[in-house]
Chain A
């Protein structure tokens, strides 16, 4: 029996909504880490823990119909844009009830119906796609805004700079969001990004600012301005969100003991955890109530994912061509 995911809606309008969304992402990732350890999620994940304020703050500035492109560290973006946590978890676990029937997995989860054009296994590759989608929307006379999320590592992909240029000369309604978590895998951004992130965007005439990526409300405020600008037809903006991932680059890292960052550094950033900060601004007791609700939701999602069947191998060559062509099953003749 294939279970059906319950309807899902994620409001982001109020500070309590945003706290709830951050708790959802945090809890989702903690549970996903468990499922990696249990062997339910194969291949591991790039955990988003620590960066929640960025995805939630930016998505809170968007509206339904806006589009995003995401990254290899994409669970936070996908959830904050409203994807079902049930179906997202099932996707990670490779089940037919997943957002992409278990064919995408962690790095390629997508929900086009919600404007989520996909997490992306190629660093930087989402940016030109965001620009193209923005171009199409603008040409159609719609005031859609397209957000491209990417990391500090992507700043060194040529395609990103190409896209800055294209978005600027064509005044595309794009919001470039660089999540500078200080490292590309183990490489410190400090020594890898010549000239600095905002300076690069400014070199293309793109308004750029750095914002505290551990503060959801600050991210929202900055993103809202950029979104307004894009919607008014005034072109792209760039936000560098200074943030940090509390976990390793990838779940594999636990075993590798890379030691590229000190325990003090990690502890120092954990002090700046965006969740307690957001909780402190709520009414007493509210955060606890929200946490309990999210706990229940995620327990349901886990039950749902584990109860869902894996895809059948007979469909391995499905969906390759629009005309239904299935030219190369594993067996010839």
Chain B
């Protein structure tokens, strides 16, 4: 066990992948000499060379497009998108090409491309630097979409994503980059797409992923002082979603609140609410509630705390669900 930040855990994870598989490449803007604007690839070019940790021109579509070509000829490229909002020039390549080629080739080719995207708000940045576009990818068949919430998951899930033969969109909660946690580099990790019970409880399930897991744990702590026992489920994967894991928790607690930074409208929570209502109708004591961002452009930094779901908004939803 070592204590490290999420940023360091991701860096160690990439280092390990580069060491263990010569087909793994890193590509992106400023990932080499600088080590990435968030320093997730720090030191990797120095140790693995410019041929494997590649500083590319400012050309997202070209970067992802070439990564696809490399992947279908045997490489495992890991692409860094500098900020969430800059993935859109590459969205075309990801949605129309990357997601569909495996099917096009009737399963005969593999597309082991990882697209790493620092996402979410809370760092005082602006539109295009604080967004949570995960649903736009989860909606597309052929892609897998995951997000770690802890350094340990950062370390393991990134390696699992790189080892995965399918394209994985890997969302990194940028405001948690500097949070520390224990990482056991000798552990046997849980499957990539399985939800994890981050805290056990009896009265209500809070389901979240990425940056909101920490918020939900704080909510659970606050609720405990009021004598309420909340279970916190770290979903970890937005596509596929571990509905069995959610169902098991909801059959126990009978109440569910889903929390994410992305807009509530047509968000991950909407899909979960629908599915859990279908699966657990007779277990539910209250409708599935959702807490998330507004269906609006990400606001200026000054008011982002209003936009982001925090303790108050989540607690309010918890109260409503329990009072139902």
B residues with CB within 8 A of A: 51, 56-57, 59, 61-62, 64-75, 89, 92-93, 96-97, 100-110, 141-142, 144, 164-166, 239-240, 274-275, 278-279
Q: Say if the beta carbon of A137 comes within 8 Å of chain B.
A: yes
Q: Is the CB of B74 within 8 A of A322?
A: no
Given the known inter-chain contacts A132-B65, A132-B66, please indicate yes or no for A125 contacting B96, CB distance below 8 A. Answer: yes
Q: Is the CB of B61 within 8 A of A162?
A: yes
The listed residue (A103, A108, A129, A328) touching B69 by CB distance below 8 A is A129
Contacts of A125 in B (CB 8 A): 65, 92-93, 96-97
- Min CB gap B52→A, angstroms: 10
Contacts of A110 in B (CB 8 A): 104-105
A residues with CB within 8 A of B: 100-101, 103-104, 108, 110, 112-113, 117-118, 120-122, 125, 127-137, 139-140, 158-159, 162-163, 165-166, 169, 317-323, 325, 327-328, 332-333
Given the known inter-chain contacts A128-B66, A134-B69, A322-B166, please indicate yes or no for A162 contacting B105, CB distance below 8 A. Answer: no
Given the known inter-chain contacts A104-B104, A165-B62, A323-B166, please indicate yes or no for A112 contacting B69, CB distance below 8 A. Answer: no
Closest 5 CB pairs of A and B: A132-B69, A128-B65, A162-B62, A136-B73, A132-B66
Q: Is the CB of B104 within 8 A of A118?
A: yes
Given the known inter-chain contacts A158-B61, A319-B106, A333-B279, please indicate yes or no for A129 contacting B240, CB distance below 8 A. Answer: no
The residue of chain B having its C-beta at the shortest distance from the C-beta of A134 within the complex is B69
Q: Is the CB of A133 within 8 A of B96?
A: no
Given the known inter-chain contacts A320-B141, A322-B166, A327-B239, please indicate yes or no for A163 contacting B104, CB distance below 8 A. Answer: no
Contacts of B102 in A (CB 8 A): 319-322
The residue of chain A having its C-beta at the shortest distance from the C-beta of B193 within the complex is A325
Q: How far is the CA of A165 from the CA of B56 in the complex (A)?
A: 10
Q: Is the CB of B104 within 8 A of A103?
A: yes
- Min CB gap B174→A, angstroms: 26
- Min CB gap B116→A, angstroms: 18
Q: Is the CB of A117 within 8 A of B72?
A: yes
The residue of chain B having its C-beta at the shortest distance from the C-beta of A117 within the complex is B72
Contacts of A113 in B (CB 8 A): 108
- Min CB gap B164→A, angstroms: 8
Q: List 17 A-B contacts (CB under 8 A).
A: A101-B106, A118-B101, A125-B93, A125-B97, A131-B69, A132-B66, A132-B72, A135-B69, A135-B70, A136-B70, A136-B74, A136-B75, A163-B62, A165-B62, A320-B102, A323-B164, A332-B275
Q: Is the CB of B73 within 8 A of A112?
A: no
Q: Which of B64, B74, B96, B97 has the most CB of A within 10 A?
A: B97
Q: Is the CB of A159 within 8 A of B65?
A: yes
Contacts of A100 in B (CB 8 A): 104-106
- Min CB gap A2→B, angstroms: 15
Q: How far is the CA of A113 from the CA of B74 in the complex (A)?
A: 15
Contacts of B275 in A (CB 8 A): 332
Q: Is the CB of B73 within 8 A of A327?
A: no
**Known contacts A120-B97, A132-B71; 4 further A-B pairs (Cβ under 8 A):** A133-B69, A133-B70, A135-B70, A319-B103
Q: Is the CB of B165 within 8 A of A323?
A: yes
The listed residue (A104, A112, A162) touching B59 by CB distance below 8 A is A162
